[in-house]
Structure 1
Amino acid sequence: MTLTDRLVRWRYRLVPDHVLGELLSKRWMDNAIPLIILVAVAAVFGSLIPGFYGPQSLSDLARQWGEFALIVLALTIVMAAGGIDLSVGSTFALGNIVALALIGVAGLPVWAVVVLTMACGAAVGLVNGLLVGYLRLRAFLTTLVTLIIVRAVVDMLLLRYAVAIAASFPDSDLWFWFGDGFVAGIPVSVVVAVAVALILHLVLSRTRPGWQVLAVGGSRRSAHNVGIPVRRVICMTYVVSGTLAAGAGVLFASRLGAAGSDIGLGLEIAALTAAVLGGNSLGGGRSSAAKAVIGSLIVMILVNGLVRLGVTSGANSLLLGLVLLIAVAIDVRWLKNRNKVLAKVYVSPTYADLPPAPGTDDGSPYALNDRLRPVEAIGLGEIDGPEDVILDEDDNIYVGNRTGDIVRFLAPDYSRHEVFAHVGGRPLGMALARDGALLVCIGGMGLYRIGQDRTVERLTDETNRSLFSIIDDSRLRLADDLDIAPDGRVFFSEATVRYEMHEWPVDCLESRGNGRIICYDPNSRTTRTVLRNLVFPNGICMTHDGQSFLFAETWACRVSRYWFDGPRKGQVEPIIPDLPGYPDNINRASDGTYWLALVGMRTPAFDLALRMPGFRRRMARRVAPDEWMFPNINTGCVLRFDETGRVIETFWDRKGDNHPMITSMREHKGHLYIGGISNNRIGRLKLEGADPGWTGWQSYWGRA
């Protein structure tokens, strides 16, 4: 290795280029910039104003924030569904005067005051919801008109009840507790706002109504096409918005006990600024309670800080308008360009230096031949993409189909076939359990079990999350092969945690250790990761000692052994470190050795490109994906090797006509059955000298 290669290798080993793309792909990344702004605003005003965060000042600021946060949360709910509510300020003022009139003039109990006031806000929201949701009027103009009408109603109520309200003094400790009380040292309004924010977060992220709101905000036509009641969802967001705005008015009334014509004026602009500044999208579909909380804190600190500095109210409004304009511009540009930026930085190739590829000329254990020429085709044209193939004790063949079916070809002549089970996803590796059940890795879904009665059961679709992982690697993306230990534990490989089933070539372009091997224990029904940072692990086979298994790493072109039990537990040993091609599934042979499929062959050009991560990065950014350089996966090979890594024999189809692509093979009663993820057939080859009575099931579980 040259000095330049060493420097490049260490540069890509020490600098985690993929982190930036993983950060940008996270939804919570939208909160990063608002959070930075919040910290900056808090630090600036804290340094400019002595005592800005003093106990009394902080208590007053917190009470005001609790009320304002409810307004922002109210607006956020409507924005999540793709709407806007300019009437929240007027509804807040209405809630304030209605609450004061009911508690001071009518003398109603506190619980009735709260219920009736929030009912008034819900009524305003219902009017907005009916007009916008059911009559399909423009949300901006409709709520602007509602703002004017509700403000007029507030002014009329002021003329009638202002004197009576000013002369009254409610005799209720509970009422004043709402405005001035504490819960465990925290102001009541803050507790209410935090509780509402938590509920909103759970609703939007964990419940069907919340998903429906976000779906409507993302695309109303698509939401309608999948059966979501779009009009009702929109209407209910306005009802909730009005209810929360009136609830904020109750808290304000209990704190100040004053009614004036200027209450709530311009509040809708401040709330809209806070919602957008926090990262909630004006276009809908991208909203959260956390964004609303962050934005409300920024605006509250900003406004109070400017007042403490003596800035006039006009300047305050001007500043809020400018902030809103900047926030809207950032929101629009971010939505437009985020995917473009992510596409440029997410694919992050690393330095990969493969050992020299062994030759395939005469005298090499990998010497070319035509031993696959006699392969006969089973189910030609009747199956699509049988990635793996397995046989039961009755000689029936099971293969996965691209359409999500497990297809069974019936012995003895395999002229008839049936859909054994429909699993929905892409069936990949398979294994037979002791009880005859078929265990299947399904790309994008996880590990599944199909009983002899054809019932489909999910065993696991997640594992423990990595401690320092940015992406959520607890969900299984591409489980692809498995084998079963003598005690029933299932060890299966997940090729990549960064890409989905259809994106597997991109993982090759990276050649980064994105894969892992996972163990599922049926006794405790728990799943845990046992090996990480593997380069596209894509083949697992239990050794005969019952304490270890062999596994292949496709893009690393090697086969290794891992001890999961016994005195060498936890150790990994390379078996074949320098294959001439890309290994796939591994299975047992009748003489105690192992079969290995090579899905394709290495090429000097791609081996060189693996040592040039900068070249691959530029290619990913500047060239269309269908023109990227990928490994050759057109010509395959089957080879047999022992536990020391000695290659005993190879089987080639040099022209690639009879069985062009090979991803798996199974020996069964003197024949080798071959599968290929891009083929339309199952291959069968008679093995000279093989045990005609040997089966894989008996090798694992003994004779029945």
Structure 2
Amino acid sequence: MDRPEALFARRYVAIGGRGPEDVVADARGRVLTGVEDGRILRLDGLIDPEAVRVETLADTGGRPLGLELLPDNGLLVCDAERGLLRVDLGDGSVRVLADTVAGEPLRFCSNVVALSDGSVYFTVASRRYPLHQWLGDIVEHTGTGRLVRLAPGSDTPEVVLEGLQFANGLAPSADESFLVIAESGACRLTRYWLTGPEASRGEPFVEDLPGMPDNIWRAGPEGPLWVALAGPRVPPLDVLHRGPAAVRHTAGRIAAQVPFRPTGMIGALAVDDEGHVDHHLIARGSPFRMVTSVCEAAGHLVLGSLREPGVALCEPPAPK
């Protein structure tokens, strides 16, 4: 991986809600996000940060995480409490698409994509720990993350890949031949083939990342995969992950009860469909912490966070 480039913040924008965990941009340069009180917000006017307008579009009644815009003015929402939802951005109505998977309640639905054939794929971060205890899963290294598919016209999701380490962000390749999955607990990106001789098989895509990958976003077929790094790699944690399951279980249960204090190091990666890292952006000592998402909008890199009361607008990197 190339030497990191500096990540420069231009401005921080308060949005009247805490924890814009995922940020996605629409065709008009507006940014949509969900905050911890359940609201789905739209930020308009980012080209002039002094005049940003924040509009409430809907309320999921839960905790929205990953978002996916649909061409029919709809929005798919992974809600950590309610499951996979569909929001009508016109009237704000919310419909549950899936709240169980393989006979279990759908807890900790994390990120979602909709493909051109009408199929929907989404990740489940953990089957053991809920969102407010996410650190327990990272420490225990449970490997209970899943990739799930909802076929066109179906209301019964099916598990297509298991054993993932805190399955998080999700994005398709430009030609939709594979999906890229962020495994936060393993500091890697995994490829799941949709077509070809390897279809339905998962394999490493980019390994040994410098931090824990979170949400993934791409503007379109020509754009890179933007991967948020929620925190730096922690060498003692790598050692623990190689230890006995009983030790990891005990450590995970303790970690789940301890308040998490993120570091001031934040980052983002731009990755192409060959698995090459085009940009590795990093900032140390940042007041804006725990970056969980990144997208491009109105000439900025927009950063979201599970903890902050707003978003950060950053300088985009120069093309290579």
Relative to the length of structure 1, the TM-score reads 0.42
Encode CA deviations 1:491-546: one digit per residue, 9 max, x unaligned.
00000112222121111121021110111124233311111111110010011112
Do residues 397 (structure 1) and 28 (structure 2) align?
A: no
CA distance in 1 between counterparts of 2:14 and 2:125 reads 28
Encode CA deviations 1:29-51: one digit per residue, 9 max, x unaligned.
xxxxxxxxxxxxxxxxxxxxxxx
Inter-CA distance 624–493: structure 2 relative to 1 (3 Å threshold): closer
CA contact (8 A) 1:602 1:632 kept: no
Residue of structure 2 equivalent to 1:604: 235
CA distance in 2 between counterparts of 1:618 and 1:561 reads 31
Residue of structure 2 equivalent to 1:537: 167
Matches within 5 A, 1:75-86: none
CA contact (8 A) 2:187 2:212 kept: yes
Per the TM alignment, residue 634 of structure 1 is displaced from its structure 2 partner at its CA by: 5.0
Paired residue secondary structure (1:502): helix
CA contact (8 A) 2:24 2:217 kept: no
Inter-CA distance 535–619: structure 2 relative to 1 (3 Å threshold): closer
Matches within 5 A, 1:270-289: none
CA contact (8 A) 1:598 1:638 kept: yes
CA distance in 1 between counterparts of 2:148 and 2:95 reads 18
Give the counterpart letter for 1:374 in structure 2. A
Paired residue secondary structure (1:555): helix
Give the counterpart letter for 1:642 in structure 2. D
Residue of structure 1 equivalent to 2:94: 456
More strand by share: 2
Matches within 5 A, 1:344-383: 365=2, 367-369=3-5, 371-379=6-14, 382-383=16-17
Give the counterpart letter for 1:444 in structure 2. E
Residue of structure 2 equivalent to 1:499: 129
More helix by share: 1
Out of 204, 221, 237, which is 1:574 matched to? 204
Residue of structure 2 equivalent to 1:409: 43
Do residues 635 (structure 1) and 269 (structure 2) align?
A: no
Inter-CA distance 656–669: structure 2 relative to 1 (3 Å threshold): closer
Paired residue secondary structure (2:134): helix
Give the counterpart letter for 1:524 in structure 2. S
Do residues 476 (structure 1) and 106 (structure 2) align?
A: yes
CA distance in 1 between counterparts of 2:180 and 2:315 reads 25
Residue of structure 1 equivalent to 2:178: 548
CA contact (8 A) 2:108 2:126 kept: yes
Give the counterpart letter for 2:293 in structure 1. S
Out of 298, 303, 316, which is 1:687 matched to? 316
CA contact (8 A) 1:606 1:631 kept: no
Out of 421, 424, 427, which is 2:61 matched to? 424
Residue of structure 2 equivalent to 1:514: 144
Do residues 653 (structure 1) and 283 (structure 2) align?
A: yes
CA distance in 2 between counterparts of 1:689 and 1:525 reads 44
Inter-CA distance 579–620: structure 2 relative to 1 (3 Å threshold): closer
Give the counterpart letter for 2:224 in structure 1. T
Encode CA deviations 1:629-676: one digit per residue, 9 max, x unaligned.
x8966532101122222212111111122x322111112354321111
Per the TM alignment, residue 688 of structure 1 is displaced from its structure 2 partner at its CA by: 5.2
CA contact (8 A) 1:509 1:616 kept: yes
Inter-CA distance 574–451: structure 2 relative to 1 (3 Å threshold): same
CA distance in 2 between counterparts of 1:482 and 1:540 reads 6
Inter-CA distance 578–405: structure 2 relative to 1 (3 Å threshold): same
Encode CA deviations 1:353-379: one digit per residue, 9 max, x unaligned.
xxxxxxxxxxx52x344x322332222
Encode CA deviations 1:76-118: one digit per residue, 9 max, x unaligned.
xxxxxxxxxxxxxxxxxxxxxxxxxxxxxxxxxxxxxxxxxxx
CA distance in 2 between counterparts of 1:597 and 1:441 reads 17
What number of residue pairs does the alignment pair up?
313
Paired residue secondary structure (1:385): coil
CA contact (8 A) 1:492 1:517 kept: yes
| Greater radius of gyration (CA) | 1
CA contact (8 A) 1:447 1:460 kept: yes
| Superposed CA RMSD | 2.4
Per the TM alignment, residue 438 of structure 1 is displaced from its structure 2 partner at its CA by: 1.0
Q: Which segments of 5 or more consecutive residues in structure 1 lack a partner in the other structure?
A: 1-363, 466-473, 691-704
CA distance in 2 between counterparts of 1:625 and 1:503 reads 5
CA distance in 2 between counterparts of 1:396 and 1:403 reads 21
Give % identity. Answer: 35
Do residues 676 (structure 1) and 305 (structure 2) align?
A: yes
Give the counterpart letter for 2:106 in structure 1. L
Matches within 5 A, 1:522-533: 522-533=152-163
CA contact (8 A) 2:149 2:160 kept: yes
CA contact (8 A) 2:121 2:150 kept: yes
CA contact (8 A) 1:389 1:673 kept: yes
CA contact (8 A) 1:603 1:631 kept: no
Paired residue secondary structure (2:138): helix
